[in-house]
Amino acid sequence: MSGLSPIDRLINVTVMLRLTHQLNKDRNMGRVVNDWKPIEVETAEIAPHRYLWSGAIGADGQRRGDIADAKTYAEARARIPYKEGDVIYIDRGGKAARALIYRVLMIRDRYGDRRELYKVQVETRDGLFSKMWEQAHPGFVQRGYKRAGLAPEIPE
């Protein structure tokens, strides 16, 4: 670029900034659900509370151990209590909000243990599930059911 005139340098910098902005814009657009279809919140059936103090209950009703205790990835995946398509309660702004699970991921926490992470579509004022997804950790799900009055009390 040393052989270019000052105007050519300015044009090159402007083009590079526009390309960088477009790349960042495309990268951030991943929060929109692909192939979104309007689903009414009122017609969706809420999944029962499945978290226990010593693990969780699977979608098949069988008691599962803690995800962190699983030896293999497949075993840890099978221990996740909620699956894609389930409607759950999450804690949102101190209130219980209904949310549709869009995707379930397995991540490692800061101690290196496996745990689940839910990408959910939260209910909107229009009575539909949102076009945008947001992340919900297991704690948000547990507090959501507690705020909705569906979680068991803390054992003494």
In a domain, 78, yes or no: yes
Range(s) of the domain holding residue 10: 1-30
Q: Are residues 43 and 20 in the same domain?
A: no
Under 8 Å between Cβ of 130 and 122: yes
Q: Are residues 82 and 142 in the same domain?
A: yes
Spell out the residues 6+ positions from residue 113 whose beta carbon is closer than 8 angstroms to its own. Answer: 67, 68
Q: Are residues 81 and 130 in the same domain?
A: yes
Q: Are residues 9 and 80 in the same domain?
A: no
C-alpha to C-alpha distances, 93 to 65, 97, 140, 147, 155, nearest whole angstrom: 30, 9, 10, 11, 26
Say what the pTM is. 0.73
Tens digit of pLDDT per residue, the chain (156 long)?
Answer: 567 787 777 777 676 666 565 555 444 445 888 888 888 999 999 998 888 766 677 666 777 777 878 888 888 888 888 999 999 999 988 899 999 999 999 888 888 888 889 999 999 999 999 999 999 988 899 889 999 988 877 654
